[in-house]
């Protein structure tokens, strides 16, 4: 059975509800609330519908129980691993967009939406999703948090790879959205499509940056890819946080607050969406937990996730995003001087 939170989240998705079936039955499509007609005269008076509710205060952002429910929705067999260009990919994108919307993130995709559409390697239509929380005093300096939302499909559900990263990103977005005062710098969020085809969505994003996220303004990229298998080797890595990077000291401080998390800081990685950002000399931190048994295997399911540490890692990554957004260190100068290395 689906938990109440899980089910409520699924039912938010209008238009994709058929993708989620419970007990083999067709899922119900949410019914529109009765429209409040302000006046019957004149007949042309527009009908006013109740404004959508905010979801900012619905829970503690890093509650492992809520995060688990979200992960189970993204890694549900009905979505079949969210393979690029499939109905499962579309349904996952709808869930993420709905969450961005109710958290009040400003749409950063094409037109007025969150989606940045592109064609994947098979010529299928898919998209990245982009949402923004504008900084209060340095809005032109952007901390970008990213995670790919696609996986392989064909029975490979990709719970750790990378529903875990998306759920971590959504928790961070909530933590930032519910702050009373906005951070000094802008924090933007992106989920990438078609990563499993060879970093296609992030390549498209960095070659065609949306107006809301000019790459010149991005002073830090934080990548979350596979943060749900801390238990596998009792470790998580934060690649890219080299000795001279401003992120390193901030991470060390955060690490001290989570004694159960074994965080390896530093080292270079080219295996993930951060690759394109480093190519553009943007500093990156790539959070990743090794998965000894189930990497790109059918056993990468929601049942195998280490939820307690996944929540901790998301909190560390979120703490890093907000400390970078607030730091008095000149991140523009640092990026110009050392780019994405600084060993």
Shortest spacing between CB 74 and Zn ion, in angstroms: 13
Burial string for 127-154 (b: 16+ CB within 10 Å, else e) reads bbbbbbbbbeebeebbbbbbbbbbbbbe
226 vs 331 by CB, closer to Zn ion: 226
151 within 8 A of 167, measured Cβ to Cβ: no
Beta strand spans in the chain (E): 106-107, 115-119, 125-133, 138-148, 185-192, 218-224, 236-239, 263-265, 284-288
CA distance 172 to 313: 11
- How many Å apart are CA 237 and CA 222, to the nearest integer? 12
CB of 162 to Zn ion, least distance (A): 4
Q: Which residues bind Zn ion (CB under 5 A)?
A: 161-162, 225
Q: Which residues contact 222 (CB under 8 A, 6 or more apart)?
A: 143, 144, 145, 146, 284, 285, 287, 317, 320, 321
User: Which is nearer to Zn ion, 164 or 245 (by Cβ)?
Assistant: 164
Output the smallest distance, CB 152 to Zn ion, in A.
Answer: 10
Q: How far is the CB of 143 from Zn ion (least distance, A)?
A: 21
Question: In whole angstroms, how close is the CB of 166 to Zn ion at the nearest point?
Answer: 10
Distance in angstroms (rounded) separating the CA atoms of residues 91 and 4: 19
Burial class (CB in 10 A: 0-12, 13-18, 19+), 173: buried
For Zn ion, the closer CB: 191 or 206? 191
Q: Is the peptide bond before 58 cis (omega within 30 degrees of 0)?
A: no
Shortest Cβ 225–Zn ion spacing (Å): 4
Between 115 and 225, name the residue whose CB sits nearer to Zn ion: 225
């Amino acid at each position: 059975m689906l938990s109440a939170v899980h089910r409520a989240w699924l039912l938010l998705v209008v238009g994709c509800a058929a993708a989620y079936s419970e007990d083999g039955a067709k899922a119900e499509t949410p019914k529109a609330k009765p429209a409040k007609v302000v006046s019957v005269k004149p007949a042309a008076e527009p009908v006013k519908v109740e404004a959508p509710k905010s979801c900012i205060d619905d829970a503690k952002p890093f509650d492992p129980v809520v995060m688990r429910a979200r992960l189970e929705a993204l890694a549900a067999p009905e979505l079949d691993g969210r393979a690029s260009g499939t109905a499962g990919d579309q349904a996952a994108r709808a869930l993420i967009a709905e969450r961005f919307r109710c958290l009040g993130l400003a749409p950063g995709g094409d037109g007025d939406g969150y989606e940045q559409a592109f064609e994947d390697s098979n010529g299928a239509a898919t998209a990245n999703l982009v949402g923004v929380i504008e900084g209060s005093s340095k809005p032109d300096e952007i901390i970008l948090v990213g995670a790919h939302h696609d996986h392989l499909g064909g029975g490979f559900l990709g719970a750790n790879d990378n529903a875990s990263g998306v759920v971590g990103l959504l928790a961070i977005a909530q933590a930032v959205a519910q702050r009373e005062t906005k951070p000094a710098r802008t924090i933007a969020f992106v989920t990438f499509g078609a990563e499993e085809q060879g970093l296609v969505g992030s390549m498209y994003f960095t070659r065609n940056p949306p107006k809301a996220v000019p790459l010149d303004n991005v002073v830090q990229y934080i990548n979350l890819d596979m943060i749900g298998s801390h238990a596998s080797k009792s470790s998580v890595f934060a690649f890219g946080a080299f000795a001279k990077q401003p992120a390193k000291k901030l991470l060390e401080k955060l690490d001290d607050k989570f004694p159960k998390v074994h965080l390896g800081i530093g080292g270079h990685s080219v295996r993930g969406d951060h690759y394109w950002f480093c190519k553009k000399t943007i500093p990156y931190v790539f959070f990743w937990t090794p998965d000894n048994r189930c990497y790109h295997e059918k056993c990468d399911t929601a049942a195998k996730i280490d939820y307690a540490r996944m929540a901790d890692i998301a909190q560390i990554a979120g703490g890093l995003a907000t400390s970078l957004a607030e730091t008095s260190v000149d991140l523009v100068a640092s990026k110009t001087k050392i780019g994405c290395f600084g060993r």
